[in-house]
């Protein structure tokens, strides 16, 4: 029977986080915890995903709006059993249902698939994903009888002294035959230390009804880590970071210091690229092969092609094509498209501008709202004056033009092909093809001025 529905619990308050943001929206390596869980579930070929929301429902729904999941509202957070009960009418009568928590960002599709396989191959009515923890504090404990069969799950706050010694814990992930889950959800009561409707009570109910219950113990307990506090959030972040770096190394990426770079979960990096310390790669960044991502660079949603060198620079929502050098201390703001074999040097800021192949802006320039052609030289101190106080206007510099140092190009204006603008010029009119544009006071000399000035003093 195909396992076809997932119910993900994400309504809880997350009181222990001490936050105004709903717990499941806190991020681990760039992805909210709930998004991480959903992505792993989706990759396990489960199409029907129901998310139970409550606390901060609007914000959670908004965050997941393009993920093609359905939502069920749990108005009051009366416990995990009550949460699943709210989804009852949305769960089909046949097939299997996997229940997961939205606060376990380290769970992987491999584990979800293996767990589903275990549930199906053993034809269990209920399966529990468990793990042995050195320090099981806070988790529900798996209580087994002398034959090793699961008897019940007991919560930390309800456990006897003997039960607290048990190291096998409940991950909060379960598989149920849909019919059985739906039949017994309403049997759960709230007679326990927290007066909550515990989903975990279904195990005892299942035992009473002689259902076949299995526990699938994970070899890597890190995956089931639930995040309830800032400390656990930081732990999850660190574990995820390690996992990301290891995966990249397996695919041929080098790191100078694996403990000192911060790469989001969805970032891609090509073979033979070397990542230096202090690098932050965020969002949907894609980096090609054989690049050097130098010290303290931050790239957010950047596309960097092969053989690019970047040093101590910030790149946001921009593209850098093959063989280009960026930095040190360059700032590519959103909408920048830098061609092949370009040089963007120190203290150059580019915003919403395209720069053609082979062009150079080696130092101290601002290039905003512009289209710069191929093999253009932009001298030191050039300013693309794009803003007149009201509107942003466009500047075009065509192929092979030369913009001398300390030039102001006042938008809107165009420098045609091979136009040559002399240093210190303020350009307000179109520069014709191949023309010299020089617009500065003619130099004059006042003889003996220095000596005369001295006498006056």
Sole binder of ligand UD1 in the list 26, 82, 119, 265 (CB under 6 A): 82
**Binding to Ca ion by residue 136, rule CB under 5 A?**
no
Closest to 140 (Cα-Cα) out of 98, 86, 179, 194: 194
* Residues 11-40 as x/- pattern, contact with ligand UD1 by CB under 6 A: xx-----------x----------------
Q: In this chain, which stretch among 111-119, 166-174, 256-264, 414-422 interacts with ligand UD1, using CB under 6 A?
A: 166-174
Q: Does the N-terminal peptide bond of residue 328 adopt cis geometry, omega within 30 degrees of 0?
A: yes
**Structural tokens at position 261:** 């770079």
List the single partner that 139 binds among ligand UD1, Ca ion, none, CB under 5 to 8 Å by kind: ligand UD1
List the single partner that 36 binds among ligand UD1, Ca ion, none, CB under 5 to 8 Å by kind: none
Q: How many residues does the chain have?
A: 457
Q: In this chain, which stretch among 95-103, 264-272, 319-327, 448-456 interacts with ligand UD1, using CB under 6 A?
A: 95-103
Distance CA 211, CA 125 (A): 6
Count the helix, strand and coil residues of the chain and give each as a percent rounded to the nearest 5.
Answer: 25, 30, 45
Residue ranges of alpha helices (H) inside 308-448 are none
Q: In this chain, which stretch among 97-105, 230-238, 320-328, 345-353 interacts with ligand UD1, using CB under 6 A?
A: 97-105
Sole binder of Ca ion in the list 226, 288, 327, 339 (CB under 5 A): 226
Q: Does the N-terminal peptide bond of residue 201 adopt cis geometry, omega within 30 degrees of 0?
A: no
Q: How far is the CB of 11 from ligand UD1 (least distance, A)?
A: 3
Q: Which of 26, 119, 363, 445 is catalytic?
A: 363
CB 300 within 8 A of CB 319: no
Which residues are registered as beta bridge partners of 128?
174, 215
Q: In this chain, which stretch among 167-175, 213-221, 242-250, 297-305 interacts with ligand UD1, using CB under 6 A?
A: 167-175
**Structural tokens at position 338:** 């830098």
199: Cβ contacts below 8 Å, ≥ 6 apart: 79, 80, 81, 83, 84, 99, 174, 188
CB 281 within 8 A of CB 265: no
List the single partner that 10 binds among Ca ion, ligand UD1, none, CB under 5 to 8 Å by kind: ligand UD1
Distance CA 158, CA 152 (A): 12
Sole binder of ligand UD1 in the list 199, 245, 275, 355 (CB under 6 A): 199
List the single partner that 49 binds among Ca ion, ligand UD1, none, CB under 5 to 8 Å by kind: none
**Structural tokens at position 184:** 């017994």
List the single partner that 124 binds among ligand UD1, Ca ion, none, CB under 5 to 8 Å by kind: none
* Subset of residues 48 to 77 that bind ligand UD1, contact rule: CB under 6 A: 52, 74, 77
CB 171 within 8 A of CB 218: yes
Q: Which residue of the chain is nearest ligand UD1 when measured via CB?
A: 140
List the single partner that 79 binds among Ca ion, ligand UD1, none, CB under 5 to 8 Å by kind: ligand UD1
CB 383 within 8 A of CB 366: yes
Q: How far is the CB of 24 from ligand UD1 (least distance, A)?
A: 6
**Structural tokens at position 305:** 């092609």
Q: 156 or 393: whose CB is closer to ligand UD1?
A: 156
Supply φ then ψ for residue 199, to 5 degrees. Answer: -60, -30
**Structural tokens at position 86:** 């709210």
Handedness of CA 221, 227, 231, 237 (dihedral sign): positive
**Binding to ligand UD1 by residue 140, rule CB under 6 A?**
yes
**Binding to ligand UD1 by residue 170, rule CB under 6 A?**
yes
* Subset of residues 227 to 266 that bind Ca ion, contact rule: CB under 5 A: 228
* Residues 94-123 as x/- pattern, contact with Ca ion by CB under 5 A: ---------x--------------------
87: Cβ contacts below 8 Å, ≥ 6 apart: 7, 50, 52, 72
Q: 24 or 330: whose CB is closer to ligand UD1?
A: 24
H-helix or E-strand containing 304?
strand 303-304
Distance CA 158, CA 110 (A): 32
Q: Is 363 among the residues known to form the active site? A: yes
**Binding to ligand UD1 by residue 228, rule CB under 6 A?**
yes
Instruction: Kindly list the catalytic residues.
Output: 363
User: Which residues form the interface with ligand UD1 (CB under 6 A)?
Assistant: 9-12, 24, 52, 74, 77-80, 82-83, 101-103, 139-140, 153, 155, 169-172, 198-200, 226, 228
């Amino acid at each position: 029977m195909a396992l076809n529905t997932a119910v993900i619990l994400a309504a809880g308050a997350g009181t222990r986080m001490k936050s105004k943001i709903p717990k499941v929206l806190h991020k681990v390596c760039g992805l909210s915890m709930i998004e991480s869980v959903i992505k792993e579930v989706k990759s396990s070929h489960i199409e029907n995903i129901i998310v139970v929301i409550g606390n901060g429902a609007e914000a959670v729904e908004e965050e997941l709006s393009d993920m093609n999941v359905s939502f069920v509202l749990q108005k009051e957070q009366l416990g995990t059993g009550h949460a699943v009960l709210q989804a009852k009418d949305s769960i089909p009568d046949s097939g299997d249902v996997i229940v997961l928590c939205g606060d376990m960002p380290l769970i992987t599709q491999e584990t979800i698939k293996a767990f589903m396989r275990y549930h199906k191959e053993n034809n269990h009515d209920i399966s529990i994903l468990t793990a042995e923890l050195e320090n099981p504090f806070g988790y529900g404990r798996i209580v087994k009888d002398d034959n090793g069969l699961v008897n019940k799950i007991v919560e930390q706050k309800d456990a006897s002294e003997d039960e607290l010694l048990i190291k096998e814990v409940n991950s909060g992930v379960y598989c149920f035959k849909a019919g059985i889950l739906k039949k017994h959800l309403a049997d759960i009561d709230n007679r326990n230390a927290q007066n909550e409707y515990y989903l975990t009570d279904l195990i005892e109910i299942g035992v009473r009804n002689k259902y076949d219950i299995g526990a699938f113990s994970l070899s890597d307990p890190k995956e089931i880590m639930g995040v309830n506090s800032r400390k656990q959030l930081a732990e999850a972040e660190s574990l995820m970071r390690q996992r990301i770096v290891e995966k990249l190394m397996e695919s041929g990426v080098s790191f100078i210091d694996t403990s000192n770079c911060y790469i989001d979960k969805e970032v891609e990096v090509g073979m033979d690229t070397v990542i230096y310390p202090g690098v932050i790669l965020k969002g949907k960044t894609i980096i090609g092969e054989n690049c050097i991502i130098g010290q303290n660079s931050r790239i957010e949603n950047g596309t960097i092609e092969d053989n690019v060198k970047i040093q101590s620079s910030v790149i946001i929502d921009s593209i850098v094509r093959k063989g280009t050098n960026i930095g040190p201390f360059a700032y590519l703001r959103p909408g920048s498209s830098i061609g092949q074999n370009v040089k963007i040097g120190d203290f150059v800021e580019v915003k919403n501008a395209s720069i053609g192949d082979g062009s150079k802006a080696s130092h101290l320039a601002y290039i905003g709202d512009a289209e710069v052609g191929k093999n253009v030289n932009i001298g030191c101190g050039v300013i693309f004056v794009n803003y007149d106080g009201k509107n942003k206007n466009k500047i075009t510099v065509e192929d092979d033009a030369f913009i001398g140092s300390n030039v102001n190009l006042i938008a809107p204006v165009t420098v045609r092909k091979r136009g040559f603008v002399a240093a210190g010029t303020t350009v307000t009119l179109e520069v014709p093809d191949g023309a010299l544009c020089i617009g500065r006071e003619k130099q004059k000399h006042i003889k003996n001025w220095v000596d005369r000035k001295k006498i006056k003093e």
